[in-house]
A and B are shown apart, each in its own frame.
Chain A
Amino acid sequence: MIRANGLSVTYGAVQALRDVTFTAETGAITAVLGANGAGKTTLLRAISGLVAPRSGTVSLDETTLTGERPEDIVRRGVGHVPEGRGVIAEFTVEENLRLGAMISPMPLRDGLNQQYEWFPVLGERRKQAAATLSGGERQMLAMARALIAKPTVLLLDEPSLGLAPLVTAQLMHTVSELCATTGLTVILVEQNAKSALRIARRAVVLYLGRVVADDDAAAVAQDDQLRQYYLGMVK
Chain B
Amino acid sequence: MGARWNQRVVAGTAVGAAAVLASWLGVGTARAATALSIAAVVLVAALALISSSEFRRDHPVVARAAISVAAVDVSLVVTGFFSSTVDSNLAIGAAMSIVLLGLSFLTGSSGQISIGNGAFMGVGAFTVAIWANHHATTPIAVVLLLAVVAGALVGLLLGLPATRLRGPYLAGMTLAFAVAFGAVLNLFSTWTGGDSGLQLPYAVNAPAWLVHFFQPGTSSLTTNSVWLVDVTIVTAGIALFFMANLFASRTGRAMRLVRDNDVAAELVGISLPRARVIAFTVSAAYAALGGGLWTIINNAVTPATYGFALSITILSLVVIGGIGTIPGALIGGLIYAFAASVIAWFTAHTGLNPQGNVASQLNGIIFGGLLVLTILFAPTGIAGFVRRRWAAWRSR
- Which A residues lie at the B interface, using CB under 8 A? 48-50, 69-71, 74-75, 79-82, 86-88, 90-91, 95, 98-100, 102-103, 145-146, 149
Contacts and interface: CB of A to CB of B under 8 A. Distances in A.
A74 B268 CA distance: 7
Contact of B253 (A69, A98, A103, A149): A98
- Closest 4 A/B residue pairs (Cβ): A86-B264, A70-B266, A103-B269, A74-B269
A102 B270 contact: yes
A55 to B, nearest CB: 23
Nearest to B250: A102
A149 B268 contact: yes
A82 B267 contact: yes
B276 interface: no
Given A71-B271, A149-B269, 15 more contacts: A48-B267, A49-B266, A50-B266, A50-B267, A70-B266, A70-B267, A71-B269, A71-B270, A74-B267, A82-B263, A88-B261, A99-B253, A103-B269, A145-B268, A146-B267
B255 to A, nearest CB: 11
Nearest to A45: B263
B323 interface: no
Contacts of B256: 88, 90-91
Interface residues of B, number: 16
Interface in B229-265: 250, 253-254, 256-257, 260-261, 263-264
Contacts of B260: 88
A205 to B, nearest CB: 25
Of B253, B263, B267, B272, most buried by chain A (CB within 10 Å of CB) is B267
16 contacts: A49-B266, A50-B263, A69-B266, A71-B266, A71-B269, A71-B270, A74-B267, A75-B269, A79-B267, A82-B267, A87-B264, A88-B257, A88-B260, A98-B250, A102-B250, A102-B270
B263 to A, nearest CB: 6
B256 to A, nearest CB: 6
A146 B272 CA distance: 18
Of A48, A88, A95, most buried by chain B (CB within 10 Å of CB) is A88
Interface of B: 250, 253-254, 256-257, 260-261, 263-264, 266-272
A94 B242 CA distance: 23
A69 B264 CA distance: 14
A75 B264 CA distance: 14
B254 A86 contact: no
B267 A99 contact: no
A145 B257 CA distance: 13
A100 B268 contact: yes
Contacts of A80: 267
Contact of B261 (A74, A86, A100, A149): A86
A74 B270 CA distance: 9
Nearest to B275: A71
A87 B253 CA distance: 12
Nearest to A89: B260
A99 B252 CA distance: 10
Of B254, B264, B268, most buried by chain A (CB within 10 Å of CB) is B268
Nearest to A85: B264
A107 to B, nearest CB: 15
